Each structure stands twice: as structure tokens, then as C-alpha cells.
Structure 1
Amino acid sequence: MSKIEYLKKYNSKVELIAFDSLTEEEIKLLPEYWIDALKNQDVSSRIGTVLSQWEKFPYQFQSTISYLQNNLVGVELMRENGQIALLYSIKNIKGSEVYYIGYNSNTKSVPAYFERLPQSFREIYDQLHNGWVYYASKANGLLRIEDTIILGDEDWGILEEIDLRGLPFKLEDCIGLFDNGMGDYASLDLSAENKKSGFIWWHTKAPKLNIEIWPVIDEWTKIGMER
């Protein structure tokens, strides 16, 4: 099965597009590092340009960056649902290619709570990608800001088994930022004083509290690429 055939299994209207097919108006909306990468036809140079942007964020993505440095084999421009994005081709531990989609940070629609996110998250959404997820599931990565969820807005069966009064936060103040593809979220309490600390909201058991949020997101992202 070709790459485009695989992609179309999940969205029949997805396209791989050439940089020189874009209009001037479309190019103006792209991040500068996308332009620098995509106008270069040499694959290794294109990958190097993209990785150089990731490498600006070692606090957030130390393990992810290391894995990409060794296993990223392609970066292409794609159009999905009218949105222009980057498609990453990555070798997993079996040697097969897996595909991740990085969304355009310049065209995001930010929710009201965006400014309440810690700076470490806002700089990723503003300077790297507006979410970077496994293509097939649209999970296993930092979600598009439009796809993040307020935990208090969702229905959770687990609420019948845990004592909400014993939790150190209100679900209405909590944001799910990373979906592991099984209904569990790496989450933040936006009212918390410690902006490095978060929790894992499990859908089948009580949450795991007081974790440093970025190492969890980083490790979950790496694990997703490896599979």
C-alpha cells in the first residue's frame, strides 16, 4: 500500500501537495521554518531544518527530539479538511513507517483558556505546531488546541467510583492536553500555582496526581512513535 493510499483510509480527501503549488496567500500563513524547510528539495536538509525547530524545546520534548533525530525519514506538505499541515514519516522500532501530522501554529483558533496555559505550552502551540499527533488516530501526541478538552464538560463513568471532594481541583478548571488514544489524558489544572505539575486523568481508575506534566507527555509521545 502506498503512503497516499494509507492516508486516504482515514480521510478520502487528504492530499500530499508540493510547496510550489501554494498561492502567495497560503505561503504567508506558514511558519517561517516550514517555508525554509519545504522550499528545499533535499530530504536530509528539509529534515534538518524541521528538527532545528524542535531542538529549541528540549525541556518539553527531550526524548521525542532524540527519537526524531534518529528515525525521522521524511517531511512533506499535506492538505486535510482544507488545512495545510506537515506530514512526518517516522520509522518505528519494527522498521515500518508511521505518520504524524503537525498543524500550523499560525492558523489556530485559540479558546478562551489559552492564555491561562503555562508558557511552556503556549510556546509550543505558537512556535512549533498547533498540535502534533499520530495521523490515523489523531491522538498519541499534544492535541490541537481546538481539540483539547475541559474535563468538566465530559461525561466520565469513573466519577461514580471516585470521591470528587477528595480531588485537589475542580474538573471545570482542568484541561486535557494529550490523549493517549485510549481515553486517558495528560491534564493540567489551570488554577494551580505550580504550572509544571499536572495529573493523568484515567477513564477507568482514579487520577494519578502531582506529576511533572512535560516528561509524561514526552515519554508518551516517544512510546507512540516506537509502536
Structure 2
Amino acid sequence: MDKISFLKQYRKNIEFVSNKDIHNIGKEEIPENWLEILIETDKSKKKEKLIALWNSVCEKELSNTISYLKEYLLEFELIIDNGQYAVLYSVLSENDEILYYEGGIPNNPVYISDMQQDWLHVPITVKNFYEKLHNGFYYLPSRAMGLVPITNITHFREHEWRILEDLDEPLGINLETTYGFFENGMGGYVAIDLNNCADDVATLWFTNDNPEYNLNFWDIVDEWIVIGLQDS
């Protein structure tokens, strides 16, 4: 099965954007730094520019993810799905399978999301990722095992968590101010309570197990992304 046929199993309207069409895209749709990377025709230089952008935004926070991409990223291309641009990453897993990850183009989607009022309180490192690198980065088939798009961030107060009845200790976060930025697709979230997020403090939340508090957001995210890249 070719790549586009595989992708259309999950996104029936997904299309690749040709190099010719990329030149006709305005800066209001795709930031200039991304356009500069995407129009590069030399594959080696194109990848170097991409890695440089990742490093400029989250070299410390996602060091392991960046190292894996630097070693095993085969190619990346601009795609469009229902009018939304994104970058498709083709990454080689440890099993020599090609895994497809999607990174949304950062074009201020926060202003049409439920996060609008609380975005100012999100840790700066997290905001930088979403505003300067990608509006989410995750395994395309499942839309999980990664940082979800802003419009898909889970506001904990809007869900009924059955695990609350079985907690061994009192709840250590405020559901009203807690958001899940990362999902593993199996009931696991990396969540941030905006009332307690100094130094990127986060909670590892499960739908069927006790949460783990006071963890570093990026340590968990970096580890879980690499796990997914290796064998999603």
C-alpha cells in the first residue's frame, strides 16, 4: 500500500502539498520560518533546518526526541486536511517500520479553543512548543502518543473520572484548572494544573490507576514520545 492510501484510511481528505503550491502559501497560513524549511530542495539541508528549529524551541525539554528524529527521520512533508496544514513526519521505528507522525502548523489556534482564557497561565516552555514549533505532535493513525492539538487539549472538569472514587489519597490537583496536553491513547495523560505549574510541574494521570504528582512535564513527554517513535 502506498503512503497516501495508508493515510487515507485515517483521514479521507488528507492530501500532500506540492513544492509548487508551497510557494503560493501566504505567511498568514504558515509562519515564515516553516516556509523557509519547507521550500528547501536539498534534503540534507532541509532536515538540518528542521532539527535546528526543534533545537531553538525545545533543545533541553525534548532532547531525546530530537536525537531520535535526527537519527531516524526519513522525510517530512507538508500535508493539508480539511483546510488545516500540518507536517507529516516519516520516522523509522526500531522494528524497521515507517511510522507517520503529524505536527500541526502553529497558526494561533488557541484563539478558537477552550484554552483561550487560560492560555496566559500555561508554562512558557509549553506555550513555546505550541506557538513556535507545532500545534501538537502525535502518531497520526491514533492521534495519540504525543502532544495533542490545542483544540483537543482535555479540560479535566469536563470529564467524569471514575478513578476519583478509588484514589488511595486525596486528589492532588484542581480539576477546574487542570488540562491534559499529552495522551498516550490508553487512558494516560500528562496534565498540568495551571494553579500549580512552576518549573513545569505536571501530573501523570491515569483513568484506571492512581495519579503521580509533582513530576516534570517534559521528562515524561520526552520519554513517552520516544517510546512511541520506537514502536508505536
What range is the shorter-chain TM-score in? over 0.9
Contact 2:204–2:212 (CA under 8 A) maintained in structure 1:
yes
Which residue of 120, 126, 137 maps to 1:121?
126
Which residue of 188, 209, 220 maps to 1:184?
188
Contact 1:132–1:144 (CA under 8 A) maintained in structure 2:
yes
Higher mean Cα deviation, 192-201 or 149-158?
192-201
Q: Residue 22 of structure 1: CA displacement? A: 4.4
Distance 1:59 1:5 in 2: 37
RMSD, aligned α-carbons: 1.6
Contact 1:29–1:107 (CA under 8 A) maintained in structure 2:
no
Question: Gaps spanning 5+ residues in structure 2: where?
Answer: none
Q: Residue 59 of structure 1: CA displacement? A: 2.0
Q: TM-score under structure 2 normalisation?
A: 0.92
- Write out per-residue CA displacement over residues 102-152 of structure 1, whole angstroms, 9 at most, x where no aligned residue: 111124234221111000101111111111111101111111111111112
Contact 2:110–2:119 (CA under 8 A) maintained in structure 1:
no
Asked if 1:155 is matched to 2:156, the reply is no
Distance 1:41 1:23 in 2: 12
Higher mean Cα deviation, 86-95 or 30-39?
30-39
Check 1:88–1:139 CA distance in 2 against 1; reply closer, same or farther (3 A cut): same
Alignment map for 1:1-227 (pairs within 5 Å): 1-22=1-22, 24=24, 26-56=26-56, 57-110=58-111, 111=115, 112-162=117-167, 166-192=170-196, 194-227=198-231
1:49 is matched by which residue type in structure 2? K
Distance 2:13 2:53 in 1: 29
Q: Residue 169 of structure 1: CA displacement? A: 2.2
Distance 1:67 1:91 in 2: 9
Q: TM-score under structure 1 normalisation?
A: 0.94
2:217 is matched by which residue type in structure 1? I
Query: 4+ residue runs of structure 1 moved beyond 4 angstroms?
Result: 22-25
Taking only the aligned residue pairs, the percentage that are identical comes to 31
Q: Residue 85 of structure 1: CA displacement? A: 0.8
Distance 1:113 1:59 in 2: 25
Q: Residue 168 of structure 1: CA displacement? A: 2.6
Question: Gaps spanning 5+ residues in structure 1: where?
Answer: none
